[in-house]
Each structure stands twice: as structure tokens, then as C-alpha cells.
Amino acid sequence: MDLDAMDPAELEQDLDLMNAATKIQASFRGHMARKQAEKQSKNDSEITKEMEKLQSKSPVPNEEELDVDLSDPSLNHAATKIQASFRGHMTRKTLVKD
């Protein structure tokens, strides 16, 4: 059967041809959906493994807790100095690149 030689109106009325085309499309869409689901499943399992690795790592048991008074003005002054130093470093670094 030469589909190119047939009139479009005839093609629309050929139920066997339409059913065959529908079956092929459904099969292909199912194939693509299964392929995508398999790919998603692999990604999900990799993410799950990574999460399990991260959760299995326990914090260091002998880690000391620092008793820092966050309302101390000297702490605020020290943080401001560190920020200023870093910002100056970044500015100089940017100027050297240009």
C-alpha cells in the first residue's frame, strides 16, 4: 500500500491504518516512558546512597563546644575587622585581574 499516493480523506477513513498508527504510537510512548522511569530510578538510587553516606557520618564525639558570648562588643569589632580585611583582599584581587 502506497500511503503517499492515497488521498488524505481516504487515509482518515481507513480504520485499520488508524488503529495500527495508534498502536505504534502507544508502544513507542510506553518505551520512552519506561526508559525515562529507569533513568529517574537510577538517579534516585544514587541520591539515596549519597544521603545515607552523609547521615551515617557521625559528628566528632570529642568536639569541644565553644562558650562564646555573642553580645560581646569586642566580638562584633573582631568580626568587622575580618570582614574589612577580606573585602580589601577581594578588591585587590579583582583589580589585579583587570
> Is the torsion defined by CA of 25, 26, 29, 35 positive or negative?
negative
Cell of 95: 583589580
Alpha helix (H) residue ranges in the chain: 8-13, 15-56, 73-97
pLDDT at position 87 is 95
In the block, residue with C-alpha cell 589585579: 96
| Radius of gyration of the chain, Cα coordinates, nearest whole angstrom | 33
- Residue 6 is classified by DSSP as S
Per-residue pLDDT of the chain (98 residues; tens, 9 = 90+): 666 676 777 777 778 888 888 999 999 999 999 999 998 888 888 888 888 888 777 666 666 777 888 888 999 999 999 999 999 999 998 888 76
In the block, residue with C-alpha cell 583589580: 95
Give residue 14's identity as a one-letter amino acid code: D
pLDDT at position 61 is 61
